[in-house]
Amino acid sequence: MLLTNSLNLEVFENSLRNASFLTLFVTTIFYWIYTTFSTGTNNKTKKILTDSNILYARSSMAVSNLLLVLLLLVRWEISGHFPLSNLYESLMFLAWCCTFLYLIYSTSFIISVEKILGSITASSALLMNAFATFSLPKEMQQSAPLVPALQSNWLMMHVSVMIISYATLIIGSLLSILFLILNKLSNDKQNIKINNMMTQQTPNEIERLRCDEDIIPLPADYSIETVKSMVNNSILTPEHKKDFYNTKMTLLKLNLDSLSYRIIGLGFPFLTIGILSGAVWANEAWGSYWSWDPKETWALLTWLVFAIYLHTRLTKGWQGEKPAVIASLGFIVVWFCYLGVNLIGEGLHSYGFFN
Amino acid sequence: MFPYPMSALVPRLFAPPLSRPGLFPALVRRGRCGFICSAKGAHGGNKKKLTVTEKLKFGNAAPSLDILQAPKPRDDEGEPSTSGSGPESTSRAAAYVMESNVLQVAWRRVLRELSSLPRAIAIMALIAVLSGLGTFIPQNKPLDFYLTNYPEGPDKVLGFLTYDLILALQLDHLYSANYFYLAIGLLAASLAACTYTRQWPAVKVAQRWRFITRPEPLLKQGRTEMLPNARIQDLGAILIQRGYQVFLKDGSLYGFKGLAGKLGPIGVHAALLLCLFGTAWSGFGTLKGSVMCPEGQEFEISSYLVPSSPIAVMPDAATKVVHVNRFLIDYRPDGSVAQFYSDLTLLDPRDGGREVLRKTISVNDPFRYKGVTMYQTDWSLSAVTVRVLGQDSPLARAAEAAQAAAARTEDSTPEGVATSATSSSSGGGSSSADTGIGERTAFNLPMASLEGKPGVAGRLWATFLPLGAPSPDGSAPRGISILARDPQSVVFYDASGQFVGVRRPGSGKPITVEGLQLVVEDVVGATGLELKNDPGVPMVYAGFGGLMVTTLVSYLSHSQVWALQQGSNLFVTGRANRAKLSFEREMDEVLNAVPELLRPTTATEPPPSNAAANAP
């Protein structure tokens, strides 16, 4: 009876594994198509994907989120301990965090930004899921009982907070990288010149812009007065889509900048709490709260890089490009902290990735 | 409510010298930071509009010139009128600058250098790079490790990295190198200087009630709304309902909310400083050591606590003695380790061996007593108890040979599988053939570790039961080799090195080796404990807790609202340092809620528009 129970759970876990990958794949494709083909502005005949279709994409993301939750819960049930003890489980948790992050921020921004956020989070979650399921050796995917050092309540707190912080920082840095790419492509200046953007918008376009910009948030450094006045006071003339495109592009970049700032701003306290709880746990378990273990050191490095990012934004008031460069550097640092450190081999954190 | 002058409310950070009354505070208020910081060019050419705070720091003109010039009348500057400072301060400040001596100039310069943000960022980046470097070069290894792995000659690592370079640059112990400590010290100094020169004055500025008396500076603040036919008192009441602290004076209003958001960053810096000082205290005051104590033995704590610096103080608890009652490894059915347990008793030797505390510790559950903490970190096998069945002559010979071998415990016998007893246990002695006939057959054989020896993978302990006297030429005697990797099973090899069999301790099942019937009774383990006394831990924990809290508090938004009543028109503006979007929404809601007064007397006025129309 117990045997069939456990067999059922294992089979269920397997099917969840496949199902989560499948739904993430579908979600990614959904968002990519939606981002590429739906604009609603330049070609009125091709309005295949309207703004209301975002609901399909959102529910697809919600379904994959749910499947990942189920997968983790089933693993918890099978192994008897919190599902965060090896690389496979932490990757699944990371994928779940990415999808959850999307669901949190999905309604806070305009649709175009939401589509981009969805594309990025869905594809990131898909890559993490795929790497965990297909690239990791089978024996690393099995749930194993915990070694004595991990048998502590701190496991839940420290590791989950760290993974959450990784997810937020990864997504935030990806948005910054996107911002940099858009910057290079569109050749815009850093400070908004109202004159360049105000001219020659059609009434419909203005209307659409007004509808969109009802929920434009304020990027950290730009004045909403600027943004709104350029919309309210523009001159109504046809043509010059390029200027309108520039306007849209600049608004998009403003929003991306703001969104990445907010997401990284969410992740930084989590990272702080994660590092500190890890230090306290180390003191309880091994008697030393800081032993310059490679993983600890790289987590500190990540913290320093993002502290620099926040300082340049908060205090110095750099706009747009320079903080984004720092955040892009942070992307590499976060990945090295999460995965690369295990390649170095030694240290208290090498729980059997590469022996 | 009327505002009080700032000087009466906020305690002065620095008392001015008696001979120059009021000059120092004037410098602070007027822009001491401006004097220091703007010489560097005001944040590198930032074209952003200056906030109120920054205007106070920098003034409307270059302060370094301002201070030396004659004071200008302040009415046409359009700044929010302050309560307390006057035009006299500028001339006094000028006089003050002339009179300051070299030391104060140097101090101010040091503060300016330390508190500059690009410098702080550079220091953080330096620490980051150095830390990262230390993860690629293995730290604190013995010298020959670097000699082997980073050799001179044609195959240098990366083309230039040799052991010479590593040792010269202290890269083998980078985290305790003096330049690393210097970098951390610089970071601490930078944190303190920044709080002192920027954050604290900014808080003091934020605490002052800044009233705007004319519309122009209002319009300069940012988004400004004009509500016709509104009363400033209504606005004040609505703001109070929303949690603002509101101050009204002569038709001018100032309200703020969330001052904690301004104090948060100060708290972050203070918490970081607390952490750094705590780690420094730990670095100097820690005593630690490790001990491998077999079951049944005991040790005095103080013999194993090594101070990390001469000023470390041995705690009182270190005079106590720890007795290891039992060491146990809990195995799972699949053979993996579930947990390590050590049953420890703390005895007071000065009180006749009275038991003070008894606890079974495990990994993640240490033994704490008055500042001394003992962690379960390691284990080993100390001895194996083997009983020989039967009473024939090989037994007697074995007993004699074993006693002879015990007399030569200092000599190591390199041949053969087992070395002689070199275990760290305080001598279970060698084979103690007990006196009674029935008990004559039990041997307590100390085990030695073979870990790291050629051909040995993982942890392995071994011992040797000799069957005869050593030969005259000094080679090892014939004997039985007994090996074990863990307390679960013991492996026997005969005199020619052939594998004989495996027995589980305590099973009672005999094994025949070299004509003798042996029963493994017990494997005596030893528990590896890490002892520590770290006085800096409370400070570090306090810093950690403060850091977690203040990082979160820093995200609170500090919102400010100004309003000015001109006739029947109400001008309102506001700003927030975080959460600008929700502040905008809140402003919209507040302005929508301000009731509009109808004035039936004026016929030429336009039809009263809804106040809501003013907010887009």
Q: Which band of pLDDT confidence, cut at 50, 70 and 90, is reported for residue B587?
A: confident
Q: Is A279 on the interface with B (CB under 8 A)?
A: yes
Scan residues 200-259 of A and list those with Cβ closer than 8 Å to B: 217-218, 220-221, 223-225, 228, 232
Chain A residue at shortest CA distance from B582 = A217
For chain B, give the percent of residues with pLDDT over 70. 72
Looking at the fold, whether A244 and A335 belong to one and the same domain comes out as: yes
Final residue of a structural domain among A138, A154, A172: A138
CB-based contact (8 Å) between A304 and chain B? yes
Whether A352 and chain B come into contact, CB under 8 Å, resolves to: no
Q: What is the mean pLDDT of residues A300-319?
A: 83
Question: What residues does B561 pair with on adjacent strands?
Answer: B255, B574
- The mean pLDDT value of chain A amounts to 77
Among the residue ranges A32-36, A205-209, B209-213, B570-574, the one predicted with the least confidence is: A205-209
Instruction: End-to-end CA distance of chain A: give it in Å, rounded.
Output: 38
Q: Do A152 and B364 touch (CB under 8 A)?
A: yes
Residue ranges making up the domain that contains A22: 1-39+49-138
CA distance A105 to A255: 12
Beta bridge partners of residue B157, listed in sequence order: B161
Residues A131 and A200 in one domain: no
Is the pLDDT confidence value at B93 over 60?
no
C-alpha separations of A108 from A105, A182, B584 in Å: 5, 21, 14
What's residue A245's pLDDT? 55
The pLDDT of residue B221 is above 80: no
Q: Read off the pLDDT band of A232 (50, 70, 90).
A: low
CA distance B364 to chain A (A): 4
Say which residues have a Cβ less than 8 Å from residue B138's Cβ, sequence separation at least 6.
A346, B145
Residue B544, chain A, CB below 8 Å: the answer is yes
- Count the domains in chain A: 2
Q: For B144-170, what is the mean pLDDT?
A: 81
Give the side-chain half-sphere CA count within 13 A for A324: 22
Q: What is the mean pLDDT of chain B?
A: 74
Please name every residue paired with B227 in a beta bridge, in sequence order, or none if there are none. B570
Residue A151 inside a domain? The answer is no
Same domain, A311 and A174: yes
User: Quick check: A236 pLDDT over 80?
Assistant: no
Whether the Cβ atoms of residue A175 and residue A117 lie closer than 8 Å to each other: yes
Q: Tell me whether residue A317 is in a domain.
A: yes
| Residue in A with minimal Cα distance to B136 | A344
pLDDT at residue B169, as a whole number: 87
Query: CA B222, CA A60: separation in Å to the nearest integer?
Result: 42
B359 has pLDDT over 60: yes
Report CA A253 to chain centroid distance, whole Å: 17
Coil, helix or strand at residue B445? strand
Q: Considering only residues 257 to 316 of chain B, which have any Cβ-Cβ distance to chain A shorter than 8 Å?
A: 279, 288
Task: Say if residue A191 is in the same domain as residue A261.
Answer: yes
The reply to whether A149 falls in a domain is: no
Candidates A146, A228, A272: best to mutate against B (most CBs of B within 10 A) is A272
In Å, what is the CA distance from B351 to each residue of A257, B314, B320, B323?
A: 69, 20, 10, 15
**B178 close contact with A: CB closer than 8 A:** no
pLDDT band at B469 (very low <50, low <70, confident <90, very high): confident
Query: Is A14 at the interface with chain B, CB within 8 A?
Result: no
pLDDT band at A127 (very low <50, low <70, confident <90, very high): very high
Q: Is A332 on the interface with B (CB under 8 A)?
A: no
Q: Which of A116-120, B420-424, B489-493 has the lowest mean pLDDT?
A: B420-424
CB contact under 8 A, B135 and A307: no
List chain A residues with CB under 8 Å of B338: 145, 148
Q: Does A316 touch chain B (CB under 8 A)?
A: yes
| A160 pLDDT higher than 90 | yes
Contact A316 B43 (CB under 8 A): yes
Residues A241 and A95 in one domain: no
Instruction: Give contacts of A317 with chain B, Cβ < 8 Å.
Output: 43, 46, 48
Q: Are A308 and B131 an interchain contact pair (Cβ–Cβ within 8 Å)?
A: no
Work out the average pLDDT over A166-173. 96
Q: Do A148 and B175 touch (CB under 8 A)?
A: no
Q: What is the mean pLDDT of residues A195-206?
A: 34
Partnered with residue A236 across adjacent β-strands are A201
Flag if B135 and A220 touch (Cβ within 8 Å).
no
Distance separating alpha carbons of residues A30 and A2, to the nearest angstrom = 41
What's the Rg (C-alpha) of chain B? 39
Contacts of A86 in chain B (CB under 8 A): none
B375 to chain A, any CB pair closer than 8 A? The answer is yes
Residues A185 and A317 reside in one and the same domain: yes
What strands, in cross-sheet order, belong to the sheet with B489-493? B448-449, B461-466, B479-486, B489-493, B499-503
Residues B262-275 have pLDDT tens digits of 788 888 999 999 99
Q: Which residue has the tokens 């390649």?
A: A343
Which ranges in B158-259 belong to alpha helices (H)?
163-168, 178-194, 200-207, 215-220, 232-241
pLDDT, residue A108, reads 77
Q: Do B134 and A191 touch (CB under 8 A)?
A: no
> Residue B394, class by beta-carbon neighbours within 10 Å (0-12 exposed, 13-18 middle, 19+ buried)?
middle
Q: Does A167 share its domain with A291?
A: yes
Q: How many CB pairs under 8 A join A and B?
A: 119
Tens digits of per-residue pLDDT, B12-51? 333 333 333 333 333 333 333 333 333 333 333 334 444 4
- Is residue A260 domain-shared with residue A174, that is, in the same domain? yes
CATH number at A130 reads 1.20.120
pLDDT digits (tens, 9 = 90+) for B540-575: 999 999 999 998 888 888 888 888 888 888 888 888
Nearest CA in chain B to A342: B135
Encode pLDDT of B500-530 as tens digits: 999 999 888 888 888 888 888 889 999 999 9
Domain end marker among A138, A173, A191: A138
Select the more confidently predicted residue: A62 or B513.
A62
Chain A residues inside the 8 Å CB shell of B277: none
Looking at per-residue pLDDT, the higher value among B424 and A245 belongs to A245
- For A41-73, the DSSP string reads SS-GGG--S-GGGHHHHHHHHHHHHHHHHHHHH
pTM (2 d.p.): 0.75
Is A128 a domain residue?
yes
The shortest CB-CB distance from B548 to any of A152, A223, A273 is to A273
- Is A150 domain-assigned? no
Per-residue pLDDT, averaged over A47-72, amounts to 83
Domain-embedded: residue A216: no
For A308, half-sphere exposure in the C-beta direction (CA atoms, 13 angstrom radius) is 26
Task: Give the DSSP letter string of A85-133.
Answer: SSHHHHHHHHHHHHHHHHHHHTTTS-HHHHHHHHHHHHHHHHHHHHIII
Instruction: Clarify whether residues A179 and A326 are in a common domain.
Output: yes
When pLDDT is averaged across residues A196-205 and rounded to a whole number, the result is 34
For residue A291, how many other CB atoms are within 10 A of its CB? 15
Task: Please indicate, yes or no, if residue A80 is contained in any of the structural domains.
Answer: yes
Question: Does residue B604 sit at the A interface (CB-CB below 8 Å)?
Answer: no
User: In chain B, which among 511-540 make CB contacts under 8 A with chain A?
Assistant: 530, 532, 534, 537, 540
**Neighboring chain A residues of B541 at a CB cutoff of 8 Å:** 280
Q: Do both A171 and A120 map to the same domain? A: no
Q: Are residues A258 and A305 in the same domain?
A: yes
pLDDT band of A94, cuts 50, 70, 90: very high
pLDDT at residue B581 is higher than 80 = no
Distances from the Cα of A317 to the Cα of A309, A310, B52, B110, angstroms = 11, 10, 15, 24
**Taking the CB of residue A160, how many other CB atoms lie within 10 A of it?**
19
**How far is residue B52's CA from residue B217's CA, in Å, rounded to a whole number?**
10
Confidence of residue A113 (pLDDT cuts 50, 70, 90): confident
Task: Look at B412 and A65; give whichever has higher pLDDT.
Answer: A65
CB-CB neighbors (< 8 A) of B125 in chain A: 304, 308
* Same domain? A72 vs A119: yes
Is the pLDDT confidence value at B54 over 60? Answer: no
* Mean pLDDT computed over A320-336: 89
Q: Residues of chain B with pLDDT > 90: what percent?
A: 20
Burial B19-41 (b: 16+ CB within 10 A, else e): eeeebbbbbbbbbbbbbbbbeee
